[in-house]
Amino acid sequence: MRNYNLGILAALVLSLAFAACATTGENYAELAAQGLDVFAGKNWNAPRRNNMYDRWEFGNDGTFHFWHVHHGEALDRGVYRYEVKDGALTATKEGSGETASYTYTFSGKTFTLRPRHHSEKHEAGEHVAAEHAPSGGHRMGALPENPVTFTRAR
C-alpha cells in the first residue's frame, strides 16, 4: 500500500511540475487592454544584431533604464520616465527633455513598438529608412526610430 501511495504522490508532483512549465505566464495583451502598466518591473531585449542589442529595464516607479549591450559590455544610455496610456508609450529622457512616443502591441512574450511618426510617414507614402541599430534607431543605442520587437528577458 505504501508503494502505491508513493506512486500517486510522485505522479501528482510530476503533473503539477508539467502544468507549471506549460503555463505561458501573463497575458500581456489582455492586461494592457485593461489599462494596466504591463512594463513595470520587467526587462525587455531588442533583437541581437552584430553582437549588439538594447535592453530596457523597467522599474516599478514609472522609469526604465536603457542599456546598449555591445559585445557583452553594457553601455549606459540613461534613465527615462515613461507613461503608458491608450495603447501608447511615451518615453522622456530624464534631464534632457528628449521625448519619443510609440504605439505598442503584444504577442505572447514580445511587444512591438512603432514610433508614431513611422505610421504617419507610411500613410503619406514617404520612404522610412531601414533599421540600423538594434532597437531600430539610426544611432547605436538611440531610442527606436523604426518598428522594433522586444522580447521579455529575465
Model confidence over 42-92: pLDDT tens digits?
Answer: 999 999 988 899 999 999 999 999 999 999 999 999 999 999 988 899 999
pTM over the 0.85 mark: no
Model confidence over 24-39: pLDDT tens digits?
Answer: 467 888 888 888 889 9
102 touches 113 (CB < 8 A): yes
Q: What residue spans define the domains of the chain?
A: 27-153
Topology of domain 27-153 in CATH is Lipocalin (2.40.128)
Report the candidate in 141, 142, 138 with the shortest Cα–Cα distance to residue 74. Answer: 141
Report the candidate in 129, 49, 123, 137 with the shortest Cα–Cα distance to residue 93. Answer: 137
HSE (CB half, 13 Å, CA atoms) of 1? 0
Q: Give, as one character, the DSSP assignment of residue 142.
A: P
